[in-house]
Amino acid sequence: MDSAVYVDGRIVPPEQATVSVFDRGFLYGDSVYETMRTYGARPFMGQAHLERLRHSAAGIHLQVPWSDDELDGAIGRTVAAARGDSGRDLYLRVVVTRGAGPIGLDPALADRPSLIVIALPYVPLPQGAATQGVAVRIASIRRTSPEALAPSLKTGNYLNNVMALREARAAGAFEALMLNARGELAEATTSNVFLVHGGRVRTPATASGILPGVTRALVLEVLRGAGLPAEEVTLGPDDLASADEVFLTSTLKDVVPVTTVDGRPVGDGRVGAVTARVAELYRDRVRRWIDEGGR
């Protein structure tokens, strides 16, 4: 088995992993989740991801009945089942749904949350993405506003982002950048965004309505450590158009240079020196995490 799924205490192969059609995650997107990757058997920055999972659950008033040890245990069992004796790194998705119940919006209709852990082989981005950069489009659809479903919560409601990514892919781009309801730059559909102007690194502040990425936080940390502190500010499409460099960050993508926005080259259209430096600092930080046996 190179993949395994934990569903409420049982570990099964992916093709046997099912949840009820009455599960509220299926019916309403009434769920929260985290995407992680492992290095070997260890979920990278697992603690930070579990903290964000709890934050997301609290934000939708979903009580997570499992302790950290229980969550770690479920993840550990799934990882062990998927890896077997292989040295394989894994993709992990941890999902908590509000559970199944009679149909109806009232969250009180379900009182037993479900825990699902999906472990699949980790597939890195094609090498060309890091060396040549990727194309992005600014999506017409906006990021949900904090007054609606807060973008800081990683819930099962990703349809805005799905539609934004559809638009980008239809135009031949790799990712979509999303603006907030005020027209300010927020983030990409499953990544955060950074801009570089004359060596100055800036990223939309949390007040711009983003999911504060675990990778974003690590990149901010390594930049501070290298004496290149990034500013968390309000940015707009004009800043994007005038940027010398743009890059994306996420758990599955690490640091990815963006070389065109809406078909126009960013800077000289090649991967910039600051982005290359950030990618290197980030790789060093990951290696340190691996060596130090962090959580």
Name the residues that contact ligand PLP, by CB under 6 A: 35, 187, 190-192, 211, 213-216, 249-251
CB of 265 to ligand PLP, least distance (A): 24
Residue of 121, 119, 118 whose CA lies nearest to 89: 121
Using the minimum distance from each CB to ligand PLP, give the nearer residue, 11 or 248: 248
Helix extents (H) in the chain: 24-28, 46-59, 68-83, 127-132, 159-170, 214-225, 237-242, 273-292
CB of 154 to ligand PLP, least distance (A): 6
- CA separation for the pair 202, 82 (Å, rounded): 39
Using the minimum distance from each CB to ligand PLP, give the nearer residue, 37 or 98: 37
CB of 45 to ligand PLP, least distance (A): 8
Residue of 218, 210, 219 whose CA lies nearest to 274: 219
CB of 211 to ligand PLP, least distance (A): 4
Using the minimum distance from each CB to ligand PLP, give the nearer residue, 81 or 130: 130
CB of 234 to ligand PLP, least distance (A): 17
- CA separation for the pair 58, 63 (Å, rounded): 7
| Chain position carrying tokens 């600014």 | 138
Using the minimum distance from each CB to ligand PLP, give the nearer residue, 31 or 192: 192
Using the minimum distance from each CB to ligand PLP, give the nearer residue, 249 or 259: 249
CB of 157 to ligand PLP, least distance (A): 11
Contact 148, 47 (CB under 8 A): no
CA dihedral 201, 37, 280, 192 (to 10 degrees): -10
Using the minimum distance from each CB to ligand PLP, give the nearer residue, 251 or 275: 251
Residue of 94, 105, 93, 116 whose CA lies nearest to 24: 105
